Structure 1
Amino acid sequence: MNAMQPPQSVEEIKAGLETTEKGGVRQSIRNCLTVFQRDPLLSGAIAYNILTDRKDIIKP
C-alpha cells in the first residue's frame, strides 16, 4: 500500500478491503489504514506534529 496513492471512490476502496469468510468487511488495522489513505475526505487528515510530539487532525 502506498501512502501517496490518489484518493479513490467508495466502490474502489471497498473492493480493496479484506473481508471475512461470510463476505463482510474485516475489522483490521490494515483496512483502517486503507480507508485513511485512499478516502478523499480522510486522506491527509491526520499528521504527526514534531513540535508537540502529538498527532494532529488537520482537516475539518
Structure 2
Amino acid sequence: MTDFERKVYRIIFNMTRFGKNPSMEQLKRKTRKDEHAIRDAVKNLMRERMLKWDKEKEKWMF
C-alpha cells in the first residue's frame, strides 16, 4: 500500500465511522489530487481487499 493509498483509506475509514460516505469532491479537497489518481488508489485498495463497496447498504466495508 502506497502512502497515497493509505491516506485515501484513512479518509474513507474515518468518515464512514461517523456515518458519512466521502464524495469525490471531498476526497479531492482532502488529498489535493485529481479524480484519476483517487480512482486508481481506490481500485488498488479494492483489488487488495482492503475496501469493499456494499451495494445493498451503499457504504464501504473494511
Question: What TM-score results when the alignment is normalised by the length of structure 1?
Answer: 0.31
Question: What TM-score results when the alignment is normalised by the length of structure 2?
Answer: 0.31
* Higher RCO structure (Cα 8 Å, ≥6 apart): 2
